[in-house]
Amino acid sequence: MFALFWTTVLFSLRGSNTYTAESSLGRPFCINGYCITLSEGVITAEAGLCVVIPCSFSTASGFTPKNIVWFKCEPQKRKCSESDIIFHTNRNKVQPEYLGRVVQLDPDVSRRNCSILINDLTSFDSGSYRLRVNGLYNDKPDGFALPQTTTISVNADLKQKPTVINLPLTEGQPATFSCTAPGFCSGSPPDISWIWGETDTNVTANNTDLKTENLTEVTQRHSSTLTLNPSAKHHNSNITCKVSFKDSITTEETVNLKVNYKRKPQITGYTTVKTGDALNLSCNVESFPPSLVVWTKHSPSGFYFLNDTGSATLVLSNVTAEDSGQYVCTATHLGVTESVYTEVKVTWFSKILEGSGCVLQSELLTCVCISEGFPPPTISWPQLKNHTEYSVLNTVSNYTVNTTLTIYSKTFNYSSVECHSSHENGEAKEKLTVEQDFSEKEAIKSKTILGTVHWLEVTVSFLIGVLLSAAICCLAARCNRKQQKNSEKLEETMKMISQADPLVDDVKPVQNNLTNVQEETENLATVTEKSSLEFSSGPQDVLYASIDFSKLKRNSRAVAKRESTLTEYAEIKQESKEQRKDSSEDASETLEDKEEDLITKQDEEITQCVSEGEGGEVEAVYSTVKDILEEV
């Protein structure tokens, strides 16, 4: 128990520069076998707290201690009076200002422990303290007091601070703060409060008095707990634990809160810049502890990488179109990664490009205006307000805009057309000169010449056709006249033979035969006209008259004349060789030489009028008149 007591003393006097374990008890002071051991040095304490006066005693034999009395009196006094009593078993003898503030650490005086604890110290408690031990000596009341004293010095300013336990805080996770009042005194419990920041705003807390289980019953530890849900607004703020003791003695301890939190990364800066300017982007992440911020970008021109803590600034000078694209800001906080993106647009604007112009083709004016830029520019034609019939065609390829304007008008009274190209970064204007399309004139002239030549060709072809048709008609008419003339001559000849030639054996058969010949002769013209149509449709047979020359009387003079002439051929068309043979065998009559000549001549004319290009199996057989007469 005595060891526990000294542990309590050491804790209660922590922070004192004049009180140490070596100086807690001095050497015993003895008279006639009675000894008292007190602290030799000055015991310092602070107002509002408590102080322990360590003490032990020993007595001569025959003395039995019953109680102890403590006095506060000046060292100059040889004997302290009852008005100086601060501790006594009879409470009525204790001075009012000390009543209830002084506690005997070990009520069992037989253990020779005379230590006391004084609570709620004030500066008035500074001074010298003296002990008296009352008891029985040989069963008679007696006591002893020695001039040995101990001195206490109380500092009016409380320098000891409460102990605040500040655990790591994370946003959204409840946390508990603990504030313990200085000292382990059992006096009046202090008032503990929490204050945010530099204001006097109180925070609700649980104020709980706790006893230290491993100390004596006269020592206590006072503390307060505070539970809150921390957030980013609590980060880097101050919270104060204030302890107020009796007589308005206060002390406090302030701690700075550190809350682990992170906000979403924020990208600031202009994401649309002109060619040649500088790109300046910052990525800020509000967090604790500071996040690692990294800028990245993949592009054809390279890979950008920049990192920093808490905030990273990306600066690109003299940007080009290749610097356009998506930039990524990645923030890593306590192992958690979050990324944000931004699109950077590098804009540029160029003048109207080469290849723009206007061409006038008869009543059609076509203008082309080409411009390049980012974002793609808008092309307009101010002069369109003077026209109602027009069309505009826009085509966009990457960053190039091609606009084609077509105006329909019979009259154009200007020599140029103005083209406007503009977007948010600038504007360009250019007058496009209207040029005549000479190739069109040449084409029209060539077309006119070709048309004239074409009409001449048609006219010539028509005339040639007319001439050919007339020639064919004339030829056909001539052949027809010849046929009619030959037919008339043949008829006259037949009449002369029938009247003048008595050599005919059988007149009636001959007349019948001549009639047949005449009919066949009259049909020659019809056969001739149809022959051309029959030849065009395919191979056809030529029909010939059968004449029996055996019925005719031979004329010696004609025979002699025929013998002296050149061989003459006559074309005889037959369907086959067998038919020709049969026709020759069946011929039994002959005509006179004149009739033969006429028939032969007629056959030749028919042959000239009828095409000889007849195909098929029909064969042309040639024979002389002499051969025919010999066969007869």
Question: Using one digit for the tens of pLDDT, what is the confidence trace for 230-256?
Answer: 898 888 889 999 999 888 889 999 999
Q: How far is CA 91 from CA 66, 118, 119, in A?
A: 16, 15, 16
Residue 224, token pair as written in the block: 């307060």
Q: Which fold has domain 263-349?
A: Immunoglobulin-like (2.60.40)
Where would I find the beta strands (DSSP E) of 108-204?
Answer: 116-118, 127-137, 140-155, 163-165, 169-170, 175-180, 191-196, 202-203
Q: What is the CATH number of domain 163-260?
A: 2.60.40.10
Choose the weakest-confidence range: 93-102, 140-149, 539-548.
539-548
Residue 421, token pair as written in the block: 């190209």
Find the distance separating the first CA and the last CA of the chain, reported in whole Å.
Answer: 189
The confidence score (pLDDT) of residue 13 equals 41
pLDDT band at 70, cuts 50/70/90? very high
For residue 227, the one-letter residue type is: T
* Rounded Cα gap, residues 57 and 557, in angstroms: 212
Q: What percent of the chain has pLDDT over 90?
A: 28
**pTM for the whole thing?**
0.51
The confidence score (pLDDT) of residue 293 equals 92
Ranges of CATH 2.60.40.10 domains, the chain: 2-155, 163-260, 263-349, 357-436
Spell out a b/e string for 196-223, using b for 16 or more CB atoms within 10 Å of the CB, else e: beeeeeeeebebeeeeeeebbebbbbbb
Residue 500, token pair as written in the block: 């003048």
* Rounded Cα gap, residues 515 and 85, in angstroms: 200
The confidence score (pLDDT) of residue 43 equals 93
On whether the 357-436 domain is CATH 3.30.1330.100, my answer is no
Q: Which fold has domain 2-155?
A: Immunoglobulin-like (2.60.40)
pLDDT band at 512, cuts 50/70/90? very low
DSSP letter string over 469-495?
A: HHHHHHHHHHHHHHHHHHHHHHHHHHH
- Per-chain mean pLDDT for the chain: 74
